[in-house]
Structure 1
Amino acid sequence: MYDSQIVMISRAHRYSPNSVEKDTAILHEVGCRLLDKGLRIATYSEDEKEKPLPQAEVYVTMGRDETVLQELKRKQQQGAIVINSPEGIITCCQRYQQMKMLESAGINVAPHKGNNGYWVKRGDASAQTSADILFRPDYESAMTTANEMKAKGITEIDIRAHITGDLVKFYGVTDTDFFCYYYPGDDGQSKFGDEQRNGKPAHYPFDKKQLQQMANQAATLLQTGIYGGDCIIQPDGTPVLIDFNDWPSFSRCRTEAAQAIAEHIVQKAGLQTIKKGNDRTDKHA
């Protein structure tokens, strides 16, 4: 017997550096959309992982804790639907493996060598503090920083060349029309302040459809239908992917994103919904 149709799992605070309220807000808004569709939902906090997960048909998760993800894998094996997939979330958190997969698939990502400095990023887990993502002016100092990280117990490091151009943040939901992008250099929103490295955007012309196709390709590859990321638009309009994340806060486009995410969940899980003001149920496959 299911406790509810859908369990919505919030992200532990340590995995939401400077974004706890924003992450909470998008999950809440998606939950409201699902309730509006007549679906029964329950909530579960990843910060209370010692409590057992309620039984449900569908688990909708922003969680990144290994214990929770392993439990969700077991639920998946027992027939439950988990969105985003635990495998996808794990890969997104393991930046080193993620970038290798994207490279192997032919997706244009930042190279290992360049002439404008380097980013040294924690590669074995998602960034939790500003110390997990550091800029260094040359390869030698980047390697020194990588060795210092390893000495602190970080097992994998991803070193990528800094790319000059316009920094663009994008957000999308696969199998929907929703896709949007923003220039953080315009609105000043920042998690760790690293966006300032690229300066004020020049707004180089580029093909939005090309960026969306690249982002959806990465999302499909990484089994992460609800996603966000960062790219650099070079002066010739070529996008270079520098980061890809499972379920960001969507704070710049929360209302539109919540609607698309709710539709994605309903369609992927094949749930029955009730239209407001109408007794008829609709089956989404």
Structure 2
Amino acid sequence: MCKRGEKIRVVGVSRGNEYSPNHVDNDAAILRLAAEALERMGCEVTIYPEKEFVAQNIEGEFIFDMARDRATIERLKELEDGGALVVNSAYGIDNCVRQQMTELLVANEVPHPRSFIISTDEKFTPSVFPCWIKRGNSHAMVKEDVVYVECREEAEVVMADFRKRNIPVAVVNEHLVGDLVKFYGVQGTDFFYTFYPTEQSHSKFGLEAINGATRGFPFDVKQLQAYANKAAEVLNVPVYGGDCVVSATGEIRIIDFNDWPSFARCREEAGPEIAKCIYNRIIHKLEK
């Protein structure tokens, strides 16, 4: 399928194990499936662990990645600034850090819970109990980075823990009552997959149980897909996943959005669609 009579060389960058809590094998599997699909399209794919990618100063015109390490992200930014195509963009990965994500989704009117961004050096002032207090300066890496609280005293305990761990900023989201729905998508394709994580035991930290049993509130999947694709556009992450809460009236609000998740429930279907997204962007760049 590749043009110009020779294979297009594509570099893949895998996610460091420390950034895949309880999902090391799943993250490796989806990257491999995307790479295999690109190879079937006629591309030549070489995958590097993200630390090795930086240490060896790897270059490439076309790169796909699940990077999370700061040094890797900065290296990818350098390559992007020099003209490389990177999916997902390193700038997009940074946009999915909790504080930036919240600010961008709210500013672009993507349906979202009422949210506050506060310094951990300050007293906890939002009056939105129950709520979630989330690490603001990175993706969640341990269970303690995302905490459900029901009162100010519990909130202050979390803030003290964040200070102790040198986390400078917290994002506070009001707790939404309703069904928790997880979704995966690939921008520029028809692929979109939803499921109830509490029913299918798909969890990083087991926090989904707080929402309780799924009631099966009806909702418009196409509307959720439209919201998700808008978020993907705003955040610049065409390969994405996330979580939303559906109320009893069918209102949808996105509570989390992630760059290139594991696609664990649907990776066999997702891998070729991710490859298609990457391949189409490569061809578009070549034809410019």
Counterpart of 1:177 in 2: which secondary structure?
A: coil
The Cα shift of 1:51 comes to: 2.0
Tell me which residue corresponds to 1:105.
108
Question: 1: distance between equivalents of 2:54 and 2:267?
Answer: 30
Change (3 A) 1:151 1:105: same
Q: Say if 2:8 and 2:42, in contact at 8 Å, map to a contact too.
A: no
**How big is each residue's C-alpha offset from its partner over 1:78-117, in whole Å with a ceiling of 9 and x where there is no partner?**
221000011000111x201210111111111111367651
The Cα shift of 1:284 comes to: 8.1
Question: 1: distance between equivalents of 2:168 and 2:56?
Answer: 30
Tell me which residue corresponds to 1:70.
74
Tell me which residue corresponds to 1:258.
271
Q: Which amino acid aligns with 1:184?
A: P
Describe how 1:174-185 pairs up with structure 2 within 5 A. Answer: 174-185=187-198
Residue ranges of structure 2 left out of the alignment (5+ in a row) = 1-6, 116-125
Question: 2: distance between equivalents of 1:241 and 1:222?
Answer: 13
Change (3 A) 1:177 1:4: closer
Q: Say if 1:49 and 1:67, in contact at 8 Å, map to a contact too.
A: no
The Cα shift of 1:49 comes to: 5.0
Question: 2: distance between equivalents of 1:44 and 1:53?
Answer: 11
Tell me which residue corresponds to 2:24.
20
Tell me which residue corresponds to 1:42.
46
Q: Which amino acid aligns with 1:61?
A: D
Q: Say if 2:12 and 2:63, in contact at 8 Å, map to a contact too.
A: yes
Q: Which amino acid aligns with 2:174?
A: A
**How big is each residue's C-alpha offset from its partner over 1:158-193, in whole Å with a ceiling of 9 and x where there is no partner?**
111111100000000101000110101111121100
Q: Say if 1:121 and 1:159, in contact at 8 Å, map to a contact too.
A: yes
Tell me which residue corresponds to 1:120.
133
Counterpart of 1:210 in 2: which secondary structure?
A: helix
Counterpart of 1:149 in 2: which secondary structure?
A: helix
Q: Say if 1:44 and 1:53, in contact at 8 Å, map to a contact too.
A: no
Q: Say if 2:94 and 2:100, in contact at 8 Å, map to a contact too.
A: no
The Cα shift of 1:151 comes to: 3.1
Percent of residue pairs bearing the same amino acid type: 37
Question: 2: distance between equivalents of 1:199 and 1:166?
Answer: 8
**How big is each residue's C-alpha offset from its partner over 1:4-45, in whole Å with a ceiling of 9 and x where there is no partner?**
711100001111000000000000011110111110111110
Matched, 1:204 2:217: yes
Question: 2: distance between equivalents of 1:197 and 1:4?
Answer: 47
Tell me which residue corresponds to 1:80.
84
Counterpart of 1:189 in 2: which secondary structure?
A: coil
4+ residue segments displaced more than 6 Å: none
Question: 1: distance between equivalents of 2:198 and 2:14?
Answer: 29
> Structure 1 stretch 54-63 or stretch 243-252: which is displaced more?
54-63
Q: Which amino acid aligns with 1:259?
A: P
Describe how 1:141-152 pairs up with structure 2 within 5 A. Answer: 141-152=154-165
**How big is each residue's C-alpha offset from its partner over 1:114-149, in whole Å with a ceiling of 9 and x where there is no partner?**
765111111101111111111111244224412430
Matched, 1:90 2:103: no
Tell me which residue corresponds to 2:241.
228
Equivalent residue in structure 2 for 1:163, among 176, 184, 195: 176
Residue ranges of structure 1 left out of the alignment (5+ in a row) = 273-282
Q: Say if 2:54 and 2:72, in contact at 8 Å, map to a contact too.
A: no
Question: 1: distance between equivalents of 2:57 and 2:171?
Answer: 34
Counterpart of 1:252 in 2: which secondary structure?
A: coil
Q: Which amino acid aligns with 1:103?
A: V
Question: 2: distance between equivalents of 1:4 and 1:207?
Answer: 40
> Structure 1 stretch 23-32 or stretch 145-154: which is displaced more?
145-154
Aligned length: 272
Tell me which residue corresponds to 1:7.
11
